[in-house]
Structure formats: C-alpha cells, structure tokens
Amino acid sequence: MLSALGFKNISRCGFLSLPVGGTVGTHIDKGSYYLTRDRYHLSIQGKYRYHVGDEEIVIEPGMLVWFDNKEPHGTENLGDETRITFVFDVKNPELVALQNKNMYNITSDDRRME
C-alpha cells in the first residue's frame, strides 16, 4: 500500500494508540537511526493535537502528516475514543547523502591529524 503511494525504503512501521485524554510529552527522537529518516503519521481513529516546535495541528482520521521528529514534538488525544495512528519511517536519500558526507569529512579530518 505505501509503495503504491510513492513511499519507498520504509524502515519501521507500526500502530500506536493513545487513550482518551492521554498525552505524549514533548520530546525529540534521538539516535543515529533518526538522522536519515522522515516520520509520517496516518491517523486511523480519534482526534488529536500534535505540536512540533511552535506549530500545532489538529489531526483527524484519514489525515497523513509528515513532521520533523528531530524537533521537540508531542501530542494530546482530544477525542472521545482511543487514538490509533499508523506511524512509519522513510529513509530520506538527501539525509543519507548528508550523513555520508559528514562521516567522510570526519574521517578525512581524523586522518590529517595523524
């Protein structure tokens, strides 16, 4: 299904739930895994508020959203039912190239120091 929508190189995917009134506190997804991937949410059930940095959006079933999970973000279930979201990560070729370039530069700089 995702490849038919143009999404290639899916890394991880899964369904997440959040109970009525539940929140996910503000956080940043850290680690080398996230450096080269974009995160998407496909809302299946429930209405929730999502914030990233200074921006907020109310998400309803059927909406597909991308957000920068390398920025502070969090959510709150606004609805009267459990929020169910299909979350998936897509490898971003531009971020991969940037990471590879940065790793090469670090390696090159290290060699010059010897």
100 sits in which H/E element? helix 93-113
Residue 8 has pLDDT above 80, yes or no: no
Each residue's pLDDT tens digit, 22-65: 999 999 999 888 888 889 999 999 999 999 999 999 999 999 99
Q: Three-class SS of residue 35?
A: helix
Q: How far apart are CA 96 and CA 100, in angstroms?
A: 6
Q: What is the pTM of this model?
A: 0.76
> Quick one: pLDDT at residue 100?
66
Q: Which domains does the chain have, with CATH numbers?
A: 3-113 (2.60.120.10)
Each residue's pLDDT tens digit, 57-113: 999 999 999 988 989 999 999 999 999 999 999 888 777 677 666 654 444 444 444
Give the DSSP letter of residue 2: T
> Quick one: pLDDT at residue 99?
67
| 43 in Cβ contact with 61 (< 8 Å) | yes
Strand order in the sheet with 48-52: 23-27, 73-77, 48-52, 55-59
> Quick one: pLDDT at residue 112?
40
Mean pLDDT over the full length of the chain:
84
**What pLDDT band is residue 21 in, cutting at 50, 70 and 90?**
very high
